[in-house]
Amino acid sequence: MVGTPHGAVRGRYERGIAVFRGIPYAAPPFGALRFRPPRPPEPWDGVRDAGAFGPTAPKPAYSEAFAQYLSDPVIPGDDCLNLNVWTPEPGPGARLPVLLWLHGGALTRGSSAVPVYDGSTFARDGVVCVSVNYRLGVEGYGLFPDAPPNPGLRDQLAALRWVHASIEAFGGDPDRITLCGQSAGAISAGVLLAAPQARGLVRRAVLQSGAPEAVERDKVRRMVRRMAGRLKIPATAEAFAAVDRAVLLRTQAEVGRLSSPVLGGPAFGMVVDGDLVPRDPLKALTEGSAAGDVDLLMGWTRDEYRLWLVPGGLVDHVDRLGAVALAGAMARCHAGHDVPRGYRALHPDAGTAEIVGQMVTDHLLRVPLYRLADARPGTSHLYEFAWPSLLPGLGACHALELGFVFDSGDVPESRKLAGEGAPQELADAMHSAWVRFATSGAPGWAAWDATHPVRVFGEGEPYTAHGPRDAEIDLWPAARAVPEPVPASGARAPGAELAAAVRRLRRSVAVRHR
């Protein structure tokens, strides 16, 4: 039994690890609290049972094309602002390092109950692991005239504050919290690092396949307006709160099919709000005005784009579209013609899908992470995950590294993406690097400097390469500056013909993902 600020909880011992699941860190975000910032939970009397995962946030199911690779459990209930703790030594005095995990899922899917995120392996190795649920989709990231922005991000901040205030009772050290996330979770972690309200709460951070960003407000508004149009209601929080939750999720999924990581489109994301996100988070972090004392571990997978394009056969489809797909990628990345020409020269045997995929991956991930590392040499460490899945076509795709980081390759949900027979020695290497980083800030290879060391986790022994992506990164005019949402110097702005081509490609992506 462990005491929390709102009442005592009783967990379970599982293979020598104390596990506490479904602890509320905030009140259920429904009724009068819907679309509002999180509030503290009601205190409870007696001892609350913490043996099972709590409810997950409302979310649509993955399409059939993605569900064959990704698991996303649904646990019904309104009390979805909850977290889980795995610890080897519950009770004050141990002061172990803490890893706080924010799941991915494009801010529309995912939860802390995904079996791949089993924190027992971190606890086994002396790190208290905490995983968090937060509001998703329109509930967490809709933009309305009658409600505050970014409620899902505010949930994450509330969870971080809970951990900082409460984790010592579970054996953790509140001064050694590593904020860790993948994909949307990494973007969230980066935005929180730049938030003034989070200052002093985080000692280290891990950004896996996601870079700090704030999206254009109009991009989020378009999602809300399209949903409102289908529902025939005003685009207000009050009107959305009156819609049946299942109908709202179905409408969100239908509208979301028009968006794609490769070609963009309207989407949910965090926006500059003048409060929690007072300015562009990447600028805040690279210009030294935020989280200057936080150690960083950042990286990507070699073939991120393959999870975006392989399901439903989109790789072949993009290859067939050729110039249209390249035009769409240029518009997505605000890139001039020199950028795809440069990729063609560097990778003459690559198909259109690979060129498009790597361009978008660099634009979204590698360029901003390079800039962040350049701004923080000596305290940043970079990696690339390069082991290819044993399933056809996936390569070293987005999210594949998760089963290795958590050393959870033995669960069926990891094998859905990795296939049968993933190398345990690779999991040992990655997991131990994350443990070392959470413990000391030193994962086991050189910190970023002018030689650009990148640890490569692939087939065989991990090794350090120097500048393995420099040639591609140098193709981007803004590689050493924060990009603006306008075409690169010398490029023509996308005209009506290009915009129409992008729309056709987006519709094709939507149809194939149904």
Indicate the helix (H) or strand (E) that contains 286. Answer: helix 281-286
For the chain, how many residues are written? 514
With 80 as the cut, is the pLDDT of residue 228 above it? yes
Is residue 294 within 8 Å of 203, Cβ to Cβ? yes
pLDDT at 8 (0 to 100): 98
With 70 as the cut, is the pLDDT of residue 464 above it? yes
With 90 as the cut, is the pLDDT of residue 510 above it? no
pLDDT at 263 (0 to 100): 67
Which pLDDT band holds residue 61 (cuts at 50, 70, 90)?
Answer: very high
Tokens representing residue 205 in the block = 């951070």
Longest dimension (CA), the chain: 67
What value does the mean pLDDT take over residues 139-168?
Answer: 98
What value does the mean pLDDT take over residues 454-475?
Answer: 97
Which stretch of 79-93, 272-286, 316-330, 384-398 has the lowest confidence by average pLDDT? Answer: 316-330
Rounded CA gap, 506 and 266, in Å?
A: 11
Indicate the helix (H) or strand (E) that contains 13. Answer: strand 12-14
How far apart, in Å, do the first and last CA atoms of the chain sit? 46
pLDDT at 505 (0 to 100): 53
459 lies in which domain range? 2-512
Rounded CA gap, 317 and 167, in Å?
A: 49
With 90 as the cut, is the pLDDT of residue 387 above it? yes
Question: Which amino acid, 157?
Answer: L
CA neighbor of 299 nearest in space, from 249, 361, 344, 248:
361
Which pLDDT band holds residue 280 (cuts at 50, 70, 90)?
Answer: very high
Rounded CA gap, 388 and 397, in Å?
A: 7
Rounded CA gap, 335 and 461, in Å?
A: 36
CA neighbor of 270 nearest in space, from 311, 213, 342, 231:
213
What value does the mean pLDDT take over residues 290-303?
Answer: 95
With 50 as the cut, is the pLDDT of residue 436 above it? yes
What value does the mean pLDDT take over residues 362-389?
Answer: 97
Indicate the helix (H) or strand (E) that contains 410. Answer: none
Is residue 293 within 8 Å of 250, Cβ to Cβ? no
pLDDT at 328 (0 to 100): 85
The mean predicted confidence, pLDDT, of the chain is 92
pLDDT at 487 (0 to 100): 30
More confident residue, 320 or 505: 320
Which stretch of 146-150, 214-218, 438-442, 491-495 has the lowest confidence by average pLDDT? Answer: 491-495
* In 334-457, alpha helices (H): 338-346, 352-361, 367-375, 402-405, 412-418, 424-440
Which stretch of 232-241, 490-499, 501-510 has the lowest confidence by average pLDDT? Answer: 490-499
Rounded CA gap, 251 and 501, in Å?
A: 25
425's CB contacts (< 8 A; 6+ apart) are: none
Say which residue the tokens 């800039």 belong to. Answer: 371
Which pLDDT band holds residue 457 (cuts at 50, 70, 90)?
Answer: very high
More confident residue, 229 or 260: 229
Angle 24-25-31 (CA atoms, 0-180°, nearest 5)?
75
pLDDT at 508 (0 to 100): 54
With 80 as the cut, is the pLDDT of residue 289 above it? no
- Ranges of beta strands (E only) in 420-485 are 453-457, 463-466
Sign of the Cα pseudo-torsion (161, 165, 171, 172, in order): positive
* In 128-280, alpha helices (H): 137-141, 151-166, 184-194, 217-231, 237-241, 245-256
pLDDT at 484 (0 to 100): 38
Indicate the helix (H) or strand (E) that contains 10. Answer: strand 7-10
With 50 as the cut, is the pLDDT of residue 486 above it? no
Number of compact structural domains in the chain:
1
pLDDT at 507 (0 to 100): 54
pLDDT at 382 (0 to 100): 98
With 60 as the cut, is the pLDDT of residue 418 above it? yes
Which stretch of 223-232, 318-327, 437-446 has the lowest confidence by average pLDDT? Answer: 318-327
The set of catalytic residues is: 183, 304, 398
Dihedral in degrees, nearest 10, Cα atoms 305, 309, 310, 313: -160
pLDDT at 134 (0 to 100): 98
Which pLDDT band holds residue 292 (cuts at 50, 70, 90)?
Answer: confident
DSSP 8-state secondary structure symbol assigned to residue 105? S
Read off the CATH number of the domain in which 287 is found: 3.40.50.1820
Angle 120-178-376 (CA atoms, 0-180°, nearest 5)?
145
Which residues pair with residue 299 across a beta bridge?
A: 208, 383
Indicate the helix (H) or strand (E) that contains 363. Answer: none
Rounded CA gap, 208 and 165, in Å?
A: 26
DSSP 8-state secondary structure symbol assigned to residue 364? I
Rounded CA gap, 355 and 219, in Å?
A: 25
With 90 as the cut, is the pLDDT of residue 17 above it? yes
Helix axes 323-333, 338-346, angle to 10 degrees: 120
User: Cβ of 18: how many Cβ atoms within 10 Å?
Assistant: 21
